[in-house]
Every structure is written in C-alpha cells, then in structure tokens.
Amino acid sequence: MRNTGRVNVPTLRDGDLLLRPKLPGDADALTAACQDPEISRWTLVPSPYTRADADHFIAISEQEAAAGTAVHLIAVDAEDGRLLGSFSVMELDREPGYGEIGYWVAADARGRGVATRAVRLLTDWAHAELGLTRLEILPHKDNAPSRRVAEKAGYRDTGRLVAPPREESDEPVFMEYVADG
C-alpha cells in the first residue's frame, strides 16, 4: 500500500486500556510524563521536554495523519483517563506496506503490560485497516524492556542492528523486530 492521503485516526480498546487520538487538553499530561529521563534516553523525545513540545507533538500528529505519513495515539486508562503512554505507526510513506511502531510508557504505568497490549492493538489495526504487510519495532539494543515488549507482542528479532531512524547518526544501535501481516 502506497500512501494515498489522510489516515483516519482510530480509537482502540482492550479492556481498561484505551488508545485514542491526542487532544489539546492532553498537553499537560504529556509534558509531565516526558520529564522522565528514561523516555528521552530510549526515544527521540527531546529533553528537556516543554509544554511547547507537547503542543507541537499534538499539532504534528494531526498534520501527519492528514498527510497519511503517521498515526499517533495516546494510551489512557479507560476508567479515569490517566495518561499511560504514547504509541505511533510511522514511516507510512517510506515504502509500500511498511510501517514502524514506536512507543513510550509513563513511569507509573510500566510493568503492567500496557505496552504489549497497546502494540498488539496497533499492530492488528495497522494490518487490517492500513493493509500494512511489514511492521517493525526498533528498540535500542540496550533497552531490554522494550525488546521484551516487541517479543511479547509477537514480533520476531531479525538479528539486524540498524541506524537510528529520523536521526543524523548512522551508528547501528537499534535492533530490528518484525511482524509480517
């Protein structure tokens, strides 16, 4: 599937886990969660992370969905609306049938299966609704929890190390995990 324009951003649910589009009212919760140094350590989230960064991320999320290049969702507790993490399908315009899933989980939500459940929801949706035939997760080689999420969500380790996506460095420090649809 080659990018053909706007992607309708879904709302997905698995019990008490809700993945939904970001809203302007989420900026404070995103800003607070991204103060955790573990998020910027393993992802491309800037540090320090400011309210302006959150506002920009919310705006870019809508622009990228409109362009058909990415889908960005937040995970919230379906009961109380508390932010649990951020989950995206990116690089939709890179090659036909391809997408990359990226994510982070808020510190107080880690160790509860949030990431694995959200990745499974997003993977199933991307295969079924976007027709993607190859999804990748690229965790840093030293990020064991993120590698476990990929494995528990059904992704297989290809054994390849790749350079950081969307960065200028060409040092291969990210492991390639794949789910074929």
pLDDT digits (tens, 9 = 90+) for 106-162: 999 999 999 999 999 999 999 999 999 999 999 999 999 999 999 999 999 999 999
Q: What's the pLDDT score for residue 2?
A: 45
Q: What's the pLDDT score for residue 85?
A: 98
Query: Can you read off the two tokens belonging to residue 29?
Result: 């919760």
pLDDT digits (tens, 9 = 90+) for 20-57: 999 999 999 999 999 999 999 999 899 999 999 999 99
**Alpha carbon 78 to chain centroid distance?**
19
- Domains annotated on the chain, with CATH: 12-180 (3.40.630.30)
Contacts of 93 (CB under 8 A, 6+ apart): 2, 3, 67, 68, 69
Contact, 34 vs 54, CB < 8 A?
A: yes
Average pLDDT over residues 80-89: 97
| Environment class of 75 (CB within 10 Å of its CB; exposed 0-12, middle 13-18, buried 19+) | buried
Q: What's the pLDDT score for residue 168?
A: 75
Q: Which is it for strands 71-77 and 83-90: parallel, antiparallel or unpaired?
A: antiparallel
Q: What's the pLDDT score for residue 129?
A: 94
